[in-house]
Structure 1
Amino acid sequence: MIDTRYAALRDLLDNRWTCRQFLPDPVPHETIEQILSLAQRTPSWCNTQPWQLTITEQPTTDRFRKELLAHIEEAGVATDLPFPAEYTGVYRDRRRECGAQLYESVNVARGDHAGTLRQMVRNFELFDAPHVAILTTSRDLGVYGAVDCGLYLMTVLLAVESLGLAAAPQAALASYSPFLHEYFDIPADRNVVAGISFGYPDREHPVNAFRTTRAPLPDTITWHTT
């Protein structure tokens, strides 16, 4: 029994990936509720459950996509939560490896600034997903409310994978948090953590073919045995 559950979880983790091209088909409302019911089992500090989602269905998704693209052409980046100050050392290396895989999959050569920009903008086109969710946390709960939302996000991603769907967790959408607050009437006492574009994956598109690597355990663990 234990081995079977471990294998099932391992299968979900091994096969989940960030989808960067979706089919236009909408996900049934009942299926979305299945995902959210499972995600609601996520643990949180003192059981505060700080997460809230704002979710679009068509035609709202297309309207939001269009207006977001128009907004980023005129506005600067503004976030509710601080983004990383910089990437150094192994974190820079891992980020570069992922970026190189992405651009290679869509035939964007190193130094092709126009191609790089075009792929970056795909974030704000939601990779053509039929749905997007905006994940927020209570501002009063600070960093640990955001940590709880990270746990919730992972549960969403596993639930999505378990149902044969795909998702793209997107910190990029939080780059324009004031716009999200205004567009979706998100209260000022909530911080935007990330967006989640989701739907049915286009498995034939080359951008969905690559998979990122993971560091070996000795690189991430320090044992104290005596």
Structure 2
Amino acid sequence: MDFEGLLSSRWSCRAYRDEQVAPELLEEIFAVAQRTASWCNTQPWQVLLTRGAATKRFAESLTAHVQANPPSPDLEMPAEYRGIYQERRRGAGFALYGALGIGRKDAEAKEAQMLKNYSFFGAPHVAVITTDRLQGTYGAIDCGAYVTNILTAARERGVATIPQAAIAVYSGHVREYFDLPDDRLVVCAISLGYADEADPVNGFRTERASVADAVQVLE
């Protein structure tokens, strides 16, 4: 598949089969992503990658924490969604709940679906991405580019993914659980594995704005 095909066909997987990705395949994915361009070649990203029982232990701990504690992000979360950003956010949510047959007023079902973020949707692996505190905003931007390359490299190899800011919302617990040093900030996580194609949650796709909506050409 060419580059355009990889980007066009990649989606955020929200249901996984109980099947590990081979260690050598994971190594390939992260080796490709390591070529990501970064500010002054700082390469500020560091990764904690779980597999098997380690993933399940982390999921259980994080889910329990989320149900009993307020958010504690390292990075500032969006203050508000307005205008087109709110429209896109709602559109993605409606598509998700529609695929699952969850009604707009079914708060209990929405809550249950939300909590699946913290069990990584059943993925066998989760990669927690951290940046160096002193690299500031540009360190986080570099990590965003790194995450994109992980997603694309995984797609090329038939591995499904979903980038998850939801994990970073509870950075305090992530930091404590993994005993992260103070100079590391939690940016996001990526769940990885093989998609459960039979699950209806994997049947919907989000839309993208046109180039004209995003790019202004000046002459």
Structure-to-structure mapping, 1:75-224, within 5 angstroms: 75-224=69-218
Q: TM-score, normalised by structure 2?
A: 0.98
Pick one of 2, 5, 13 that aligns with 1:8.
Answer: 2
TM-score when scaled to structure 1?
0.95
Tell me the distance in 2 between the aligned counterparts of 1:85 and 1:172. Answer: 15
How far apart, in 2, do the equivalents of 1:43 and 1:175 lie? 26
Shift of residue 113 of structure 1? 0.7
Shift, 1:73, TM fit: 1.6
1:4: which partner in 2? none
**How much does 1:128 deviate?**
0.4
* Superposed CA offset, 1:97-139 (max 9, x none): 0000000111110111111111101101110000001000000
Cα-Cα RMSD: 0.8
Distance 2:137 2:207 in 1: 28
Q: Which structure 1 residue ranges, 5 or more long, are not aligned? A: 1-6
The C-alpha deviation readout for 1:60-105, integer Å capped at 9, x for no partner, is: 1111111111111211101000000000000100010000000011
- Shift >2 Å, 4+ stretches: none
Which residue of structure 1 aligns with residue 49 of structure 2? 55
- Secondary structure of the residue aligned to 1:135 is strand
- State the Cα deviation string for residues 182-222 of structure 1 (Å, max 9, x = none): 11121111110001111011111110011111111111111
State the secondary structure of the residue aligned to 1:192.
strand
SS of the residue 1:72 aligns to? helix
Q: What amino acid does structure 2 have at the position aligned with 1:35?
A: I
Q: Tell me the amino acid that sits aligned with residue 168 of structure 2.
A: A
SS in 2 for 1:156: helix
Q: Which residue of 1 aligns with 2:22?
A: 28
- Cα distance in 2, alignment partners of residues 148 and 91 from structure 1: 23
Q: What amino acid does structure 2 have at the position aligned with 1:194?
A: C
Aligned AA (2:94)? A
Query: Where do 5+ consecutive residues of structure 2 fail to align?
Result: none
What SS class does the counterpart of residue 193 from structure 1 fall into?
strand
